[in-house]
Amino acid sequence: MKKLVIVESPAKARTLSKILGRGYTLKASLGHIRDLPKSDLGVEIDDNFAPRYVVPKAKAKIVNELKKAAQEASTVYLATDPDREGEAIAWHLTEVTRDGAFLRQAQDKLYQRVAFHEITKEAVEEAFRHPRDIDMQLVNAQQARRVLDRLVGYKISPLLWRKVRRGLSAGRVQSVTVRIVVDREREIQAFKPVEYWVIEAELSKKAEKKSFRATLVGLADGTKLEVPSETEASRLKAELEKADYSVLKVGTKKITRQPAPPFITSTLQQEAWRKLHFTAKQTMAIAQQLYEGLPVGEEGNVGLITYMRTDSTHVASSALAETRDYVKEKYGVEYLPPRARFYATKVKGAQEAHEAIRPTRIHREPAAIKQYLTATQYRLYDLIWKRMVASQMAAAIFDSTTIDIEAKRPKSSYLLRTQSSVNVFPGFIIVYIEGRDEADEEKEVALPVLRKGDVLKLIEVFLDQRFTQPPPRYTEATLVKTLEQNGIGRPSTYAPTLSTIQDREYVTRVKGFFQPTELGFVVNDLLNQHFADIVDIKFTARMEEKLDEIVDNKRDWVSVIRDFYVPFQKYLDKATQVIEKVKIADEQIGEACPKCGKPIVIKTGRFGKFLACSGYPECKYTRPYRISTGVKCPECGKGDLLQMLSKKKKVFYGCSRYPECKFATSYKPLPQPCPKCGSLMTKSGEDWARCTKCGHRMKVQQD
């Protein structure tokens, strides 16, 4: 009898099949094969919150195939992903594929759990040499999370449907994430900018043409100067224009910059957004492909990176040694630190996986396998590879110089300062530099050689009016970072959370930044008023800690649910009685009703969005959700391209003459034609456009 190995995806099955050989049969469950029912709560509250799992109709055929394969196998290996969700899937597979003809005890010996964090021959063979039982503490922690989320979602969501609008939802992690975005928006709205002026003097040595700028920082005695108005700025400018300048002090020191640690889930999502403009969801989908394995030339299907849902920066000693050998061979011994670098895991409660995200083989350079990858796969693999290599390289060294300059006047003297930073040894930055969330990047500046007492010549004084800025809105990168820092969610939840809050229209993305919608404000305020714990950051973080304590066998999962549910139900009962119906203003599309002339608005019904007259019920004009883009169809040249919703509620753009003309695209059409061939340009990423005919790409202003 063959041995059966069950995994989640066909791609993973193909990669493992190549490693394990003919003695094994590989089957894919295609993700979860059992879950709580969609039609009702599915949690027996009076029976210790026992979850009632069902096999969805769509999975019935797969389950029957897996049952049959399990009956014919000598051993069933459950090779699902190495985290809590993977452990839970393994347990569900065991529960649904057991053959009732066998004794349960015999079947317990039949089923074995194998876990590996990279799909390589060495890692897989090692896992199969040391199979284990299913870890029920991991399963229970995942069950607790699922039950908690179901209780919150299925208890509060119907209330939102009745009191606000159909189709809304609430969730432990998504609702507190919306609150974070809303709170930041209100900070921005309440912010009052304060005027200030920056004064710079352009100077040079007496006999040199090369000039540099120094900024006024205060009086020569160290007293700080505030420049709140143009009047004060002009007064100081007049003073500086009459001053005598000389070098007061020159300070030089070497600064070392250390490389960033290899990626964990959150930092990968942050950096992929900063450098590649990949959403968290897109990043995780591509990373999953790289982890499960892709056909790479003569190697066949190969797992290219380690498991991508992790909050640990630990790296296996064999991978460290391989990386150090590569650095020494490729860049020379001077680029290699004396010892391997080890990075402390900073995420509280980190235990989702044992390793950071890294290439399974450092010598598999991105350029060598580029031809076998899609453009997005290559870009993400290149990012992961460079980050891992750089993490084991020598520090970059900079010469940092600070020069204090005195502007002397008869009654008072002023202090100006200039700084420079020059890279004298590149170290890791020849491979990789970590991206930043701030708009201003550090620039390398070289100053002329100056010594204390050098006399300087003033060329010109510059005034620059500025205003203090409100805190910035969140991007994909900064929101994921904030969730992680506050202990909200875990590696597996960041991407789906960010997708959900946009799908529910609680937030929208404007020029790459998250901004709450009116609906987001309303739902957040309602939850904040009646379910304070649900949107409380500290409460949500503490709940995550309790789920971690279930894994460590420090808490019973049922008691964790009960402690949450009892007060939650009281809040729910009260809210049901006191919350009044909330009216949200409909969004106008800038078009008049053809029947009565009143504005056309976007409505939401049980089947999604549609357009209707704002004069309802007097005027009952409606039509499907289709909004003109003002761009002519490039195929027929007669119809307009309309923004529409598919059956799956995804936005696409199609010709108004359908079905006569069937042109459609999922990319937003732009009014300006291609500068090369005159064809249709569409959005391609946050700030790029691509021609639909010749493929020409160009930068465009973000909308």
- Name which of 8-17, 136-145, 481-490, 628-637 the model is least confident about: 628-637
* 42 contacts: CB under 8 Å, gap ≥ 6: 36, 51, 52, 53, 54, 150
Mean per-residue pLDDT for 396-423?
Answer: 94
Give the model's pLDDT for residue 427.
Answer: 97
Residue 438 has pLDDT above 70, yes or no: no
Give the model's pLDDT for residue 624.
Answer: 81
Domains 3-134 and 265-391 share a fold: no
Give the model's pLDDT for residue 457.
Answer: 95
Give the model's pLDDT for residue 104.
Answer: 45
Are 262 and 231 a contacting pair, CB within 8 Å?
A: no
Residue 114 has pLDDT above 70, yes or no: yes
Are 156 and 573 a contacting pair, CB within 8 Å?
A: no
- Length, in residues, of the chain: 703
Q: Is the dihedral of CA 450, 455, 456, 457 positive or negative?
A: negative
Give the model's pLDDT for residue 105.
Answer: 45
Between CA 152 and CA 15 the distance in angstroms is 39
Contacts of residues 112-117 at CB distance under 8 Å and 24 or more positions apart, as own/partner, are 112/75, 112/76, 112/77, 112/78, 113/77, 113/78, 113/87, 114/77, 114/78, 114/79, 115/79, 115/82, 115/86, 116/79, 116/82, 117/82, 117/306, 117/307, 117/310, 117/353, 117/354, 117/355
User: Structure tokens of 571?
Assistant: 């809040």
Between CA 480 and CA 489 the distance in angstroms is 10
Give the relative orientation of helices 84-97 and 60-71 as an angle to the nearest 10 degrees. 70
Give the relative orientation of helices 172-190 and 476-485 as an angle to the nearest 10 degrees. 110
Q: How confident is the model at residue 80 (pLDDT cuts 50, 70, 90)?
A: very high
Q: Tell me: the pLDDT tens digits for 597-633?
A: 999 998 877 666 788 999 888 999 998 888 888 899 9
Max mean pLDDT range (349-358, 496-505, 627-636, 676-685): 496-505
Residue 101 has pLDDT above 80, yes or no: no
Q: Tell me: the pLDDT tens digits for 181-190?
A: 999 999 999 9
307 catalytic per annotation: yes
Are 138 and 88 a contacting pair, CB within 8 Å?
A: yes
Q: Tell me: the pLDDT tens digits for 301-348?
A: 999 999 999 999 999 999 999 999 999 999 999 999 999 999 987 665
Q: How confident is the model at residue 444 (pLDDT cuts 50, 70, 90)?
A: low
Closest CA to 324 of 404, 333, 697, 359: 333
Mean per-residue pLDDT for 394-417?
Answer: 95
Topology at the third CATH level for domain 195-258+396-467? Topoisomerase I; domain 3 (2.70.20)
440 Cα distance to chain centroid: 21
User: Structure tokens of 671?
Assistant: 């009014």
CA torsion angle 268 272 278 279 (round to 10): 40
Give the model's pLDDT for residue 243.
Answer: 96
To the nearest whole number, what is the mean pLDDT of the chain?
A: 91
Residue 46 has pLDDT above 50, yes or no: yes
Give the type of residue at 427: G
Between CA 498 and CA 494 the distance in angstroms is 6
Q: How does DSSP assign 313-334, residue by residue?
A: ----HHHHHHHHHHHHHHH-GG
Give the model's pLDDT for residue 352.
Answer: 45
Which of the listed CATH numbers 3.40.630.30, 1.10.460.10, 3.40.640.10, 1.10.275.10 matches domain 154-191+473-578?
1.10.460.10
Residue 154 has pLDDT above 80, yes or no: yes
Domain spans in the chain, listed from the N-terminal domain onward: 3-134, 154-191+473-578, 195-258+396-467, 265-391, 586-624, 626-666, 669-703
Give the model's pLDDT for residue 4.
Answer: 96
Give the model's pLDDT for residue 701.
Answer: 58
Residue 11 has pLDDT above 90, yes or no: yes
Q: Give 59's DSSP letter.
A: G
Between CA 86 and CA 117 the distance in angstroms is 12
User: Structure tokens of 139?
Assistant: 């399963």
Topology at the third CATH level for domain 3-134? Rossmann fold (3.40.50)
Residue 482 has pLDDT above 80, yes or no: yes
SS3 of 358-424:
CECCCCCCHHHHHHHCCHHHHHHHHHHHHHHHHHCCCCEEEEEEEEEEEEECCCCEEEEEEEEEEEE
| Catalytic option among 307, 378, 625, 653 | 307
Give the model's pLDDT for residue 346.
Answer: 67
Give the type of residue at 551: V
Between CA 549 and CA 543 the distance in angstroms is 10
Give the model's pLDDT for residue 512.
Answer: 87
Mean per-residue pLDDT for 127-150?
Answer: 95
Mean per-residue pLDDT for 547-555?
Answer: 93
What beta strand segments (E) does 109-184 contain? 111-113
Between CA 114 and CA 129 the distance in angstroms is 9
Give the model's pLDDT for residue 524.
Answer: 95
Are 248 and 221 a contacting pair, CB within 8 Å?
A: no
Q: Tell me: the pLDDT tens digits for 238-281?
A: 999 999 999 999 999 999 999 999 999 999 999 999 999 999 99
Q: How confident is the model at residue 503 (pLDDT cuts 50, 70, 90)?
A: confident
Share of the chain above pLDDT 90, in %: 73
Topology at the third CATH level for domain 265-391? Topoisomerase I; domain 4 (1.10.290)
